[in-house]
Amino acid sequence: MARKKNFTETVESHWDIEGLAQELCEAAWHKTERDRYDRMIGIGSYESIAENAEDTVSKKEWSEAKKTGFEYEIVDDYLSALAEIVSEKGMCVKKAVGPGRKEWRPGPVETLQPIGHVYGTYEDGECYLGQYEDATEEEMKAMGHRIEE
């Protein structure tokens, strides 16, 4: 598919990337499989994301995709691009309390860390950004992750 030259910039212009990254970082982890945990945030309805995706291709390409029932491929590409942008540019604010003198470290210290791998998906008419960890519950807790049932 032919993409507009500024495809990534157009996708990025639709979102507050740092806000999405931080919201994802604050989401609780849920066990989805044996030794696999996911966390996801909703980013809108499929229809609203499709409207954004339409903005990234020519009108001709969108109408042809719609006519043949393949507009979901453009939406997939849009979600993948958004996930990649959040992965590359997103940072998580991590709070850590470490050893140190009270006058130098009076409370939690905030650091920025890259968010890492993010994926985009949709189900039941809603779109999500998510992350996963292949780890045991003990490993997740050791990493400081909040797990919800």
**Considering the domain boundaries, does residue 143 fall inside one?**
yes
Number of domains in the chain: 1
**Considering the domain boundaries, does residue 142 fall inside one?**
yes
Q: For 86-110, how does the pLDDT look when each residue is reduced to its tens digit (9 = 90+)?
A: 999 998 876 554 444 444 444 455 6
**Considering the domain boundaries, does residue 2 fall inside one?**
no
Domain that holds residue 64: 7-148
**Considering the domain boundaries, does residue 38 fall inside one?**
yes
**Considering the domain boundaries, does residue 94 fall inside one?**
yes
Q: Would the pLDDT of 70 be above 70? A: yes
**Considering the domain boundaries, does residue 65 fall inside one?**
yes
Angle at 106 between CA 102 and CA 108, to 5 degrees: 125
One DSSP character per residue, 13-72 reads HTS-HHHHHHHHHHSPEEEEETTEEEEEEEEEEHHHHHHHHHTTS-HHHHHHHHHHT-HH
pTM for the model:
0.83
**Considering the domain boundaries, does residue 1 fall inside one?**
no
pLDDT score at 95: 58
